[in-house]
Amino acid sequence: MNPTARLHDLGQSLWLDNITRDLLDSGTLARYVAELSVTGLTSNPTIYDKAIGSTAAYDADVRAGAARGLSAEAIFFDLALDDLRRAADLFAPVHARTAGVDGFVSLEVSPLLARDAAATHAEAVRLHRLGARDNLFIKIPGTPEGLPAIEETIRAGVPVNVTLLFSASQYVACMEAYTLAIERRVDAGLSAYVASVASVFISRWDGIVADRVPDDLRNQLGLAVGRQAYVEYRRFFASDRWQRLLNLGARPQRLLFASTGTKDPAASDTLYVTGLAAPHTVDTMPEDTLLAFADHGAVGEPLTSDPAPAEALLARFAAAGIDVATVGDELQSKGADAFVASWTSLMGRIAAKLADVSPAAR
């Protein structure tokens, strides 16, 4: 049994943090599903920015969109949804087998709407309707401005992948928004289950503090925060409040470990995957990390609900002068800015492609 199969058998879902037309057309994604236990995937503007700019795979889509007079944004959503519908169909057996728990793909709303909760909610509903797949998540950032949109979107029955979470406090606020939405659905006589995951970003923690901590703490903060998030996950959904909701058919929002590719070339390329093995969670991995783990990864000791190990490690960072809450807020703010930058680059990439493929655009 290869390492990915062992991790899957532990109870952690392995998702791919990538999607391109080539992955679909070549059968590579299907092979990852069959051989590497991949049961879902996520997408983001950066992935599409690279794919559209480096290949001709999307030229026909851009040309067709130009002929219809579509904007760069509309063209992007058309081509991305074409890919994601195909991927969603590939994962449909997983989605059915797990009764809607696993087998999802994800599409992000425009980050330009991030400070407008009402517009984000409306766009999430629109995109999910356009996608026309039950196993399509809409990604909404878990920023203070995004939380009301998350609550309203889940209240409307749209599956949500909450992205851009870093600290434990941000994560707890996300679980609260999800729970309020489910409680409102129950009060309205609606189904108590709407699928959702909460994506806690890992590797960026170590990058931002790399030159501020002693050598024995290098590449350890992401693991500490991930373990703390798992403790909060177990604590929150074991509450009496959630026991009542479980009895009514609700299911916990799944914890997803995002950004688990190792950034430091001196560290193990499977550092975060091994260190954050945990049942009932998701790990979404860059393609090179997935392949590395399949080749030589080791399944680590499963995380536990005992808060002591994470607290002890975080205390060492505090002693080294790292204010984790402040760094978490900084990471979320920088992450939101990076999302906008990626989106702007993607729109520029499509506009440039329009000039290349459409005589009318010249």
Residue whose tokens read 């536990």? 304
Say which residues have a Cβ less than 8 Å from residue 229's Cβ, sequence separation at least 6.
Answer: 168, 171, 200, 255
Strands (E), the chain: 13-16, 38-41, 105-108, 136-141, 160-165, 196-201, 254-258, 281-285
pLDDT at 361: 44
Question: How high is the pLDDT of residue 210?
Answer: 95
Q: Dig out the tokens for 183 from the structure.
A: 């409680």
Verify whether residue 334 is a known catalytic residue: no
pLDDT attached to residue 362 = 44
Q: Cα–Cα distance between 125 and 181 in angstroms, integer? A: 15
H helices, E strands: number in the chain: 16, 8
Sheet arrangement for strand 196-201: 38-41, 13-16, 281-285, 254-258, 196-201, 160-165, 136-141, 105-108
pLDDT number for residue 358: 56
Residues 6+ apart with CB under 8 A from 58: 21, 51, 52, 79, 353
Q: Write out the two tokens for 327.
A: 């760094």
Q: Which helix or strand (DSSP H or E) is residue 180 part of?
A: helix 168-187
**What is the C-alpha separation between 336 and 317, in angstroms, rounded?**
25
Q: Which of 139, 263, 334, 353 is catalytic?
A: 139
CA dihedral 35, 38, 43, 46 (to 10 degrees): -50
* 205: nearest Cα among 360, 313, 52: 313
Q: How far apart are CA 282 and CA 297, in angstroms?
A: 17
**Interior CA angle at 84 toward 260 and 273, to 5°?**
15
Q: How far is CA 85 from CA 13, 75, 106, 183, in A?
A: 20, 15, 10, 30
111/120 Cα distance (integer angstroms): 9
Backbone angles phi, psi at 165, to 5 degrees: -100, 140
Task: Say what the pLDDT of residue 212 is.
Answer: 94
Q: What angle do CA 341, 345, 351 make, to 5 degrees?
A: 150
Q: What is the CATH number of domain 3-361?
A: 3.20.20.70
* Ranges of the chain with pLDDT below 70: 357-362
pLDDT digits (tens, 9 = 90+) for 92-117: 999 999 999 999 999 999 999 999 99
